[in-house]
Amino acid sequence: MLLKNYKTTFLQELSSLYDEKEIDSFFYLVLESFHHIKRIDLALNPQMEMDDTQLLRWESVLAELKKYKPIQYILGTTEFYGLPFLVNENVLIPRPETEELVELILSDNQLRAAVNPLRILDIGTGSGCIPIALKKNLPNAEVYAIDVSEKALATAQKNAELNDVKVTFMLQNILETEDLDQSFDIIVSNPPYVRNLEKAEINPNVLDYEPHLALFVEDDDALLFYRKIARLAKKNLNPNGQLYFEINQYLGKETVELLQDLGFKTVELHQDIYGNDRMISCTYS
């Protein structure tokens, strides 16, 4: 069957579930994964065919997409900050907003890191996307990462190997931790922050497949992780150490006030590319 003809079928089969631009994106992601060619290659060779075995693989992807399974989980890979990452249902799919968090940390610290190697800790690392991207761009940094899930840490370790960086991963429940037992120049976290009351806003591909442990918090204590991590940061940040968070866009003001009440200085709220309150940076001396 001609690949260009199957694209029409692919679009028709998914048109009631996704918009055309998203289906187009799915098609070319699968094309690259299965056939190792890009959009331009198919345009230049419209007579390219696939055999019956390849067709069955495409049909399997189509069936999964109809169940709203994320394309990243179907293919088992994604890209974050220009780097390849393995993903599965034990880890959240890295998002563009988190790339912005990495960019913020790098823009604040690349000159500083060139003079003095930094010690960095990521709390709730999941796939390892934050510490791996930071280590790749700050090769002199000493980078650590914590998660409560053994399966997530196994994926993160594979991603560190895939990207040829050294990150020290640690199995630890941050809510049960009283002291980190070492000091850091930077602590960063993208902790669970979606309130149960916000589940109605969550698409089925996220709600039905991504790990709830890494997503949701109780409505009556939505800043639980921020409070705990900030208190640990007060104990374990070096002088003028920096704390960075990705946050719930609806709780920017409350998160800023929490950090100010705990004694953090230069607490700054940053918006993402969509104009939502999404990141906070601050220092503790």
Q: How far apart are the first and last CA of the chain?
A: 65
Structure confidence by residue, pLDDT tens digits, 164-200: 999 999 999 999 999 999 999 999 999 988 888 887 7
Whole-angstrom Cα distance, residue 283 to residue 285?
7
Residue 177's pLDDT is 94
Residues of the chain with pLDDT under 50: none
Residue 213's pLDDT is 78
Whole-angstrom Cα distance, residue 40 to residue 88?
29
Beta bridge partners of 170: 146
Residue type, 211: P
Whole-angstrom Cα distance, residue 48 to residue 60?
20
Residue 161's pLDDT is 98
Residue 248's pLDDT is 94
Residue 90's pLDDT is 95
Whole-angstrom Cα distance, residue 40 to residue 279?
37
